Structure formats: structure tokens, C-alpha cells
Structure 1
């Protein structure tokens, strides 16, 4: 078998979703690790007055591409932006572009999708299902296509406890659903949504499952492989540890915890947090296309599915996530934190609701009141409301655990050469979670919030100030309770004096014991 870089040498690649988080990481890794690759055609739509070419130019000027810029200064010449909108007929591709892609493309990576969990069903179907159907229709015209790689999600079938590396039948016929949604109004769709979703939590997982089944039914002789990542987080190693550029998924939650805004969250401490670094997913995706493209052409009807997860191989739990977040942001705090980082995960919904009111809503109302009194625009309740919506979306995933079969991932790793295993490493058994979480948290500080490490001394000073304010507030609160409740009751005073004297005796005993040693 040829090595992975040798396989990609001279091949022309089509990439959808290139401006998204995973898409740009795939583009960077492909160009950096497979320098002999041919052209990479990226489907990009015009946005905010920017042409596709301008959007790509802006994208490759970000920090993610710095190492590639040093190693291959002329890499941008290989990236060809193609004007396209996946929601429009024939993806809004011109006849010339369609003919060009049909003639030249060897490998397709379909990464484009909406990642909003609460997207309206019609929009989710348009972006996750119909766009996949259009990509497949274009792929049928490609004369030299070797592999169509589709990026799905490990949660596509989260209504099951055990998820194998197979495509499961969907709850409805996607063809009938497409036809039905065409004439239904939005209110009727919303009323039917709970029935349609069944035990799935949102339209994202629902439509990703339909897209997988569509591929199985309509691929025909096209060689298709499906990659299912779980919760995609910051990079582990490449191109540098901790790179992340958005608030999506757990990143926004981590930042809110680091700022001291998030204090309580509904989650099970013992549930597996199936985080997977983005570079692990991308390395696996490139390896999947290499293996299926070079070895599976004669067996294209055998569509391989790869569960790219960590929980069954190197489990990490939400309780451990909580500990790592608190420790990292106390040692390396974010600038201008609202309170000291101290997030707590609670599995009981009533307890969590109580602490949400006490730790989130009331402080936000008090702070907004202070802002109004000082002539500023109130903003904290708006922030808390957005945070609560994000937590409600993630609650399902932080309160459940799944068992994923990863036999195909193990098989793929076994097929790779020692050199490929180093360059395209996705062996998560080597992943040290404590180190990764520290890199992740620091990545949100450096790359999402754009905070320089030189500001750490001032941030630590601010955190100490917040600690002193908290101690002062607690002291005042104790004195207030004493004056109102305890000082007016003889029985309460007797109990208070008894507790204080008991504590004093314990302290005296431990002090005497330590002196004797």
C-alpha cells in the first residue's frame, strides 16, 4: 500500500465546508502533510459583500495557517475557491464549474453542515440532508472520483445506547419527509417536531441520521465512507496545541466558567465526556479517504462507517472536566473575570435549578441594577439567558453516556505504516486528558478571546481582588445573620457559643498534637 502522502500526490480534492472549524483544519493539514497534492477546490458562497476568493484569502491569513505559510509559502496557489451555495438548486454552481469539477476531481470531502442543534427542521433538512443529496448528484458526474468522504456525527443515532459502525434505518422515509416539508407551513412543522424527533434531542442529530441513510440508498456505485466524530474540541497537537477559533460546543461553556459567569450546570459527573480533538478527527478523515480510495474501489457497495470517539478507548468523565476547568482558570485566569472560577456539575434538576437562581439569575440582576445606577447599559441578564440556552442544548449530552463500537478505527490504524501513524496520528490512547484540557482552556484564552499571556499577572491580581470581595461579603452576611436571627434568641446564642467553643477545642487539640510531633 502507498503511504497517505503518496496517495494524495497529484490528486485533485473537492472540499465543502472549508470555512468552518473542521473544514479549515482539514485544508491546512492536507496541504501541509501532503505537499504533492494537486488542486484543492473549496465550495464557498459570497457573504457580507465578500467574494468566495476574498473569504478564502482572509481565512488562510489566520494563525492556523502560519506554520504552513513558513513551510510552503506558495500553498495558496493550490486553493481554488468555487462560488457555490449548497442551499440553492445545483448548489448554485455555474455550468462551467460543474463541468470542471466533473472532469478533475478525484476525492470529495463533504464537511458542510449546520451545527446549530436547535435549527428549524426545514433549515436543518436543507443544509444537512438536501445538500448531501446535491453533493452526491455532483459526485455521480465525476469521471475520476475515487472516494466520497462524508463527515457525520457520532450522535446521529443517540437514541441507541450501543452504536455500531453501521448505517441504521431512519425513523421516517427521508423522501416522504422532504416532499411533506415542501408544502407544510412552519407552525405545522413545529407542532409535529416532537413526534418526528422521537427520542432524539434535536434536529441536528435527526437530520444527520437521515443524511447517512440517504448516502446508503443513493450512492449506487460511488465509493462512500462516513466519519462520525463525537464532541469536537480544540487541537491536541497540530498545528499547535489548544487551537480553537469559536464559541461552539463546549468552548463557550469553558469560557463562561473561566469568567466566573457559569457556576452550576446540569450534568452527570460519572457520564463520559466524549471529547475528541479536532486534529484527531481530521487525521482520521484523511486516513479514511486514503484507505477507502485505494483499497475499496472493487467493493464500493460496502460503505464503511468510522466512529471517531474516545469514550470506549480512553474515557474521560464530566466530573474530571469540571476539575480541570476550575484548576486551569484559577491558575491562569481570564482577564476581567466576573467572579472566581468555580463551576459545579449537578445531576439533580431541582438542585441545579435552585443554584441557577442563586448563582446566576440573582447576581446578574444585582449587577444589571448596579450598571443602571451608574448610567451604563445592563447586559448581564442577556448574557445569562444566552448561557442558559446553550446549557439546555448540551444538557442531553452531558447527562448520558453511550457505547460506541470502534473496530473500523482500530482496523484503519493497523493498516497504516509507522510513518503515517506519526504524521496522521489519531490514536487517542496516547492522549493525556489533564494536559489536553489545560491546552484547551488556554487555547480559548489565546485564540478565541485574544488575550495575551503577558496579561496573566494583572488577571491573577484581579482574581485575588474578587476573592477578597467574596470573603468580605461572606463576613458581612454572617454578621447580618447574627444580628437579625441569633443575637435576639437566647437558645440560638447558646447553640452558637457551643459550636464556637467546640471548634476552638478541636483547633487547640490539633495545635497541641502538631507541637508534640
Structure 2
């Protein structure tokens, strides 16, 4: 059987969503590990005053491509930006671009999607379902197409506890829903959204499930595979450990915890945190295209790219490793010392929100007002709470995913491919990965240099001393206001103090006798 790099030799590849997190990692890995690939065509729309070529050039200059730049200095010559709008008929392509792609594309990687959990149903359907339909229709015109890879999510069917590697039918026909949404006004759409998505937590998971069904129903004779990653996190090994470039998913929460802003979170300590490194997902994706291209299976193969069934990691462990890392290597200008309390109890959660989030934020804003500055911390806290509400469904539940196709895929790879395109999450050491992940947010998202660590550690010590002083003042005030004025309270206080004194005396005496 041909190896993975040999399969991509001389191939023309089309990538959607290449300017997104996973898309750019896929492009980098493809060019670096499959140097024989001919051309990578990137569908990208103009944005924020930049045309498609400028956006792609800016992306190729980022840190992610440094290793590729050293190994293949001329790699940019293989990347071609194509102006496109996926939701438009024929993808909004110009005639010349359309003819070129139809005549030469061998492999399509469809990574483009909106990953916003709070996207309106109408926009989510356009970006995740309509765009997929348009791309499938265009792909069927391609004369040399060998494989079409659709990137979905492991949570597309999160209304089920046990998720197999199959495409489940949606509760509503996607075509009929698309037609209905065209004439509905925004208020009506908002009113029916909750009833439509049912047990799913948001429009993202709902529309990704719809998109899978569209792929199955409208792929025609295309050779298709679907890749379903769970919670995609920072890179494990490639192109270097801990690379991450955004606040999406858990990254923003890790940073908020490291800054001392996030102090409590609605989560079950024992729930599985199904994190999967982005480079593992990309390796699986490239390998899935290779397998389908070589074997041309009869049915659509679905790959659940997850870790929970193979190498489980829990939210309680996530919290421990994040806090431990940021205490050793603090973020600059932290608001408070890192410390997060996870709870699944609603009342306890609301108590900690009031005590650990809102009260400190309010006091800090008062301080800013008194010093003539603009208050901002309550806005930050409110924005954080909105983000936490969007993810608490995933931090409070666990799922079981079937991964037979993933195991089959790894068994078909030769030894060299298993090393270069490593998909084996059994080798993943979570403590090391989480430390690299947290340090990656510090280095690549916040652009903080390691040379600033001594100052950050001093700032953390200062925050600790402020906390001790505040607690001391609080105890004195409680004593003066409540205990000193009540005989019963004083008696209880003296009783507790005497017990502590007796315990310490006993402990000291026992230690002396042993010595």
C-alpha cells in the first residue's frame, strides 16, 4: 500500500476554512509532511478591508509556519488563494477560478464552519449547512476528485449518550428547514429555535448534525469521509508543543483562570473532559483522506476523534493542572491568584459567583472610579459568565464514543506513517500536555515572554500578601462588630481557640516524645 506522503504526491488540494484554527494547522502539516503535494488552493473571502490574497499571506507569516519556513523556504509558491463565498451559488467563484478548480482538484478538505455556540439559527444554517450543500454540488463537477473530507464535531449528536460512527437522521429535513428560514423574520426564528434544537444545547451542534445528513444525502457518487473531533485544544507535538492562537473553547477559560478572574465554574469533577490536541485531529484527517482515496470504501466512513474512551481525563484534573501550571508560571498582571472551584450544585455555584466574581469585580470598579479611571471589571465578569453558560453543558456531562474506525485506520498505517501522522492518544501524557497548553496560551495568545516570569511571580506574591491583609482586616471587623458585643459569641470563640491551642500543644508534645 502506498504511504500517506506518496498518496499526496502530485495532488491538488482544496481547503475551506484554512484561515481558522484547524484549517491552518492542516495546511501546515500537509505542506511539511507531504512535500510532494502539488498545490493547495485556499477558498477564502475578503474580510475587514483585506482581500483573499492579503488574508492568506498574513496567515502564512504567522508563527505556526516557522518550522515549515525553515524546512521549505519556497512553500508559499504552493499556496493559492481563491476569492470565494461559500454560501453563494457556485461558491461565489469567478469563471476562471471555477474552471481551474473543476479541472485540477484531487482532494477536498471542508473545514469551514461557524463555531460560535450562540450563533442565530439562520446564520448557523447558512454557514454550516447551506455552505456544505454548495460545496458538495461544486465538488460533483470536479473531474479528478478522489476524496471529499467533511470536518464535523463529536458533539453533533450530543443528545445521545452513546455515539457510534454512523450518521444519524435529523429531526427535521434540512431542505425544508432552509426553505422555511428564508421567509421567517428574525423574531420568529428566535422563538422557534429552542423547540427545534430540542435536547441539543446550541445551534452549533444542531446544524453540524444537519450538515452530516446533507453530506450523506447529497454526496452522489463522491468518495466521502467525515471526521468528528471533540474539544480541539492546543497542539501536542507539532509543529511545536502548546501552539494555540485563539480564545475559543477551553483556551479562554484557562486564561481567565490564570488571570485570577475565573474563580468558580459549573462542572462535574468526574465528568470526562474530552480534549483532543489539534495536531492529532489533523493527522487523523490527512490519514482518513489517504485511506478513502486508496481503498474507496462503499459507505461513508465516520471517524470519532476523541480521547475519553482511550485515555480519559476529567474536568477535576483539568482544573488541578491549569491552576498548578499558572501558579508556577503566572500570567502577567493577574487580577487575583489562580484558584478555581468546580461545582455541579446550582446554589453553591451561585454563592461562589456572588462572593468570588461579582463582589471583587464591584470593589475593583469602585477603586478604579476613585482613582479617576474607567470601570471595566464588571463588564469582563459579565462577558465571562456568558461564555461559561455556553460551555457548562459540556463540562457537566460525559459521553461514550465508538472509535472502531479510528483503530482500523491506525492499524492500516505503516510504521513510518504512524510516527509522522501520530494518531495514538494512548501515548498522550495529560500533565505534560496541560502544562504546554497553558504555556502556549501565555506565549502565543497573550504574547507574553518567558523573561517576564520573575516579575509575574513577584506580582503573585504581592496579591497573596494583599489577600492575607484583607482577610486579617475582615476577621478584626467581624470580631468588633459581632463577637465582641455578644457574650455567647465570645464564649464560642474562646472555646474554639482553646481547642486549637490544646491540639497544637498535644501535637508538639507528641513530636517531642518521638524525637
TM-score (norm 2): 0.99
- Distance in 2, matches of 1:262 and 1:270, equals 20
SS of alignment partner, residue 14 of structure 1: strand
Partner residue of 2:130?
A: 130
- Distance in 2, matches of 1:82 and 1:347, equals 47
- Distance in 2, matches of 1:89 and 1:220, equals 18
Superposed displacement of residue 511, structure 1: 1.5
- Distance in 1, matches of 2:209 and 2:192, equals 18
- Distance in 2, matches of 1:469 and 1:363, equals 13
SS of alignment partner, residue 374 of structure 2: coil
Output one character per residue of 1:148-177: Cα deviation in whole Å (capped at 9) or x when no partner: 000000000000000000000001001110
Partner residue of 2:451?
A: 454
Partner residue of 1:175?
A: 175
Partner residue of 1:284?
A: 284
Partner residue of 2:309?
A: 312
- Distance in 2, matches of 1:515 and 1:446, equals 50
Q: Which one of 504, 511, 514 corresponds to residue 514 of structure 1? A: 511
Alignment of 1:263-342 (within 5 A): 263-296=263-296, 299-300=297-298, 302-342=299-339
Superposed displacement of residue 51, structure 1: 1.5
Superposed displacement of residue 508, structure 1: 1.4
- Distance in 2, matches of 1:21 and 1:487, equals 60
- Distance in 2, matches of 1:376 and 1:484, equals 33
Q: Which one of 407, 419, 426 corresponds to residue 422 of structure 1? A: 419
Mean alpha-carbon deviation: is it higher for 442-451 or for 483-492? 483-492
- Distance in 1, matches of 2:428 and 2:399, equals 20
Superposed displacement of residue 369, structure 1: 1.2
Superposed displacement of residue 87, structure 1: 2.4
Matched, 1:493 2:490: yes
- Distance in 2, matches of 1:46 and 1:9, equals 31
Superposed displacement of residue 88, structure 1: 2.2
Partner residue of 1:387?
A: 384
Superposed displacement of residue 263, structure 1: 0.3
Superposed displacement of residue 179, structure 1: 0.6
- Distance in 2, matches of 1:391 and 1:101, equals 42
- Distance in 2, matches of 1:60 and 1:87, equals 25
SS of alignment partner, residue 290 of structure 2: helix
Long gaps (5+) in structure 1? none
- Distance in 2, matches of 1:482 and 1:370, equals 25
Matched, 1:147 2:144: no
Mean alpha-carbon deviation: is it higher for 46-55 or for 282-291? 46-55
Partner residue of 2:250?
A: 250
Matched, 1:13 2:13: yes
Q: Please tell me whether the aligned partners of residues 88 and 134 of structure 2 are also in contact (alpha carbons under 8 angstroms).
A: no
Matched, 1:443 2:440: yes
SS of alignment partner, residue 82 of structure 1: strand
SS of alignment partner, residue 240 of structure 1: coil
- Distance in 1, matches of 2:155 and 2:12, equals 31
TM-score (norm 1): 0.99
Superposed displacement of residue 494, structure 1: 1.5
- Distance in 2, matches of 1:68 and 1:310, equals 28
Partner residue of 1:95?
A: 95
Partner residue of 2:200?
A: 200
Alignment of 1:36-55 (within 5 A): 36-55=36-55
Partner residue of 2:2?
A: 2
Q: Which one of 351, 357, 360 corresponds to residue 354 of structure 2? A: 357
Superposed displacement of residue 259, structure 1: 0.2
- Distance in 1, matches of 2:350 and 2:489, equals 31
Partner residue of 2:464?
A: 467
Alignment of 1:201-220 (within 5 A): 201-220=201-220
SS of alignment partner, residue 27 of structure 2: helix
- Distance in 2, matches of 1:118 and 1:494, equals 55
Mean alpha-carbon deviation: is it higher for 224-233 or for 53-62? 53-62
Q: How many residue pairs get matched?
A: 514
Partner residue of 2:370?
A: 373
- Distance in 2, matches of 1:205 and 1:117, equals 8
- Distance in 1, matches of 2:483 and 2:361, equals 30
Output one character per residue of 1:253-310: Cα deviation in whole Å (capped at 9) or x when no partner: 00000000000000000000000000000000000000001111xx44x000000000
4+ residue runs of structure 1 moved beyond 4 angstroms?
none
- Distance in 1, matches of 2:513 and 2:82, equals 80
Q: Which one of 391, 403, 408 corresponds to residue 406 of structure 1? A: 403
Superposed displacement of residue 514, structure 1: 1.8
- Distance in 1, matches of 2:169 and 2:87, equals 25
- Distance in 1, matches of 2:363 and 2:493, equals 31
Q: Please tell me whether the aligned partners of residues 245 and 444 of structure 2 are also in contact (alpha carbons under 8 angstroms).
A: yes
SS of alignment partner, residue 253 of structure 1: helix
Superposed displacement of residue 89, structure 1: 2.5
- Distance in 1, matches of 2:486 and 2:133, equals 75
Output one character per residue of 1:329-355: Cα deviation in whole Å (capped at 9) or x when no partner: 111000000000001111001110111
Superposed displacement of residue 47, structure 1: 1.2
Superposed displacement of residue 406, structure 1: 0.2
- Distance in 1, matches of 2:490 and 2:22, equals 63
Partner residue of 2:240?
A: 240
SS of alignment partner, residue 187 of structure 1: helix
